[in-house]
């Protein structure tokens, strides 16, 4: 059995007792709160439909309102046990997964990387109107300081229709895992590595023209790795330093990481740090009330994501300190 398999908590059953205990807690919450809650809202809907379809018979309105209010009461009563369940899941299960991958990392479920650091990376130009996150992990991985958390940054648009009704819509700037790691070389300027959507959509000739127009990002940096150029567009404030950072070896490692994730990857190098934004279309590390915890498929997915993110230090060879970086 390989080293990875030895450390896999789903193969050795290390998490089984915790999952079994939490599963009993989940079932208790469903029986005591969610089943009555569902029944009350269904009753409220039935009485309301009967009231509306039977010439507004007033006697049906009272039970509809009472059922609806009862549902609200059960929703309020469920908040504390539900919060306790989720906190236990994160502190015992998610923290257990992190410890299995790299012991000693700090896990703070309610915290996230601050908006100021997110914006300082230069990866996203639009200032969020709403910014939130959770599940922050931080600590040393070998010689490298690593911090990451879930982030959802959004902006809003407001429109008014012909009748004067205002509508607010929220749009994602970024949703996924945001990572900050020490880089293994000292440098002074900023370099951005972004998904090359322009070349993929418009082809190399017109795509290159569009890339050059994006002056707000810095100078367009052309590199010798053809496959890398197809996947990414690079902007920098110093041509020489950007090439000093993006060595042939690092470009290959970034390509491999992109293929491993199968997701859009955004990278910036700034203040002797590496910022990585890894897109995800859903919230992670959350227990589902509708699915048994003994079905470990979601947890195995979380485990692989955590391994991927923590493994970025090895994937990018960040512990190899060279050219004067202590």
Domain count, the chain: 1
pLDDT of residue 31: 85
Please state, in angstroms and rounded to a whole number, the distance separating the CA atoms of residues 104 and 56.
64
Domain housing 55: 1-101
Contact at 8 Å (CB) between 123 and 173?
no
Identify whether 292 is part of a domain: no
Residue 209 to residues 14, 205, 242, 267: CA-CA distances in angstroms? 55, 7, 20, 22
114 within domain boundaries: no
Q: In terms of DSSP bridges, do strands 232-236 and 273-279 run parallel, antiparallel, or are they unpaired?
A: unpaired
Is residue 276 situated within a structural domain?
no
Confidence of residue 184 (pLDDT cuts 50, 70, 90): confident
Contact by Cβ (8 Å): 174, 228:
no
Task: Tell me: pLDDT of 168 over 60.
Answer: yes
Q: What is the pLDDT of residue 193?
A: 95
Joined together, the tokens standing for residue 139 give 């600590």
Domain annotation covers residue 318: no
Could you give the CA distance from residue 159 to residue 166 in angstroms, rounded to a whole number?
A: 6
Sign of torsion, CA 244 245 247 251?
negative
Residue 93 has pLDDT above 80, yes or no: yes
Q: What is the pLDDT of residue 201?
A: 38
Between CA 293 and CA 74 the distance in angstroms is: 23
DSSP state of 60: G
Tokens of 41: 């809202």
Q: Which residues contact 237 (CB under 8 A, 6 or more apart)?
A: 189, 190, 191, 218, 219
Whether 32 maps to a domain, the answer reads: yes
Q: CA–CA separation, 171 vs 153, rounded Å? A: 9
Residues 41-83 pLDDT 10s = 777 777 777 767 765 566 666 777 777 777 777 678 778 888 9
Is residue 138 domain-resident?
no
Residue 73 belongs to a domain: yes
Question: Which residues, other chains included, contact 205 with Cβ-Cβ below 8 Å and sequence gap of 6+?
Answer: none
Burial of 324 (C-beta count, 10 Å sphere; 0-12/13-18/19+): exposed
The pLDDT of residue 88: 94
Report pLDDT digits (tens) over 20-48.
999 999 999 888 877 777 777 777 777 77
In a domain, 8, yes or no: yes
């Amino acid at each position: 059995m390989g080293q990875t398999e030895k450390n896999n908590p789903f193969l050795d059953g290390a998490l089984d007792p915790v999952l079994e205990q939490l599963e009993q807690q989940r079932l208790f919450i469903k029986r005591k709160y969610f089943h009555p809650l569902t029944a009350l809202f269904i009753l409220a809907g039935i009485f309301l439909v009967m009231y509306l379809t039977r010439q507004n018979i007033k006697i049906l309105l009272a039970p509809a309102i009472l059922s609806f209010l009862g549902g609200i009461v059960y929703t309020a009563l469920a908040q504390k046990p539900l919060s306790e369940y989720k906190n236990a899941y994160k502190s015992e299960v998610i923290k257990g997964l992190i410890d299995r991958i790299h012991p000693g990392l700090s896990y703070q479920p309610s915290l996230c990387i601050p908006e100021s650091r997110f914006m300082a990376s230069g990866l996203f130009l639009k200032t969020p109107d709403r910014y939130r996150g959770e599940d922050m992990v931080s600590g040393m991985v070998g010689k490298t300081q690593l911090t990451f958390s879930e982030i959802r940054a959004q902006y809003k648009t407001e429109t008014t229709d012909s009748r004067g009704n205002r509508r607010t819509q929220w749009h994602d700037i970024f949703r996924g895992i945001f990572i900050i790691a020490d880089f293994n070389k000292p440098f002074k300027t900023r370099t951005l590595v972004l998904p090359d959507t322009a070349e993929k959509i418009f082809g190399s000739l017109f795509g290159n023209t569009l890339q050059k127009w994006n002056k707000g990002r810095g100078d367009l940096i052309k590199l010798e790795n053809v496959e890398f150029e197809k996947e990414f567009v690079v902007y920098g404030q110093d041509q020489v330093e950007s090439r000093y950072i993006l060595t042939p070896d690092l470009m290959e490692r970034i390509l491999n990481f992109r293929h491993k994730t199968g997701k859009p990857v955004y990278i910036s190098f700034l203040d002797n740090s590496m910022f990585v934004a890894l897109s995800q279309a859903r919230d992670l590390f959350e227990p589902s009330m509708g699915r048994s915890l003994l079905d470990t498929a979601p947890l195995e997915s979380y485990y692989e994501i955590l391994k991927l993110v923590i493994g970025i230090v090895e994937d990018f060879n960040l512990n190899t300190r060279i050219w004067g970086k202590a």
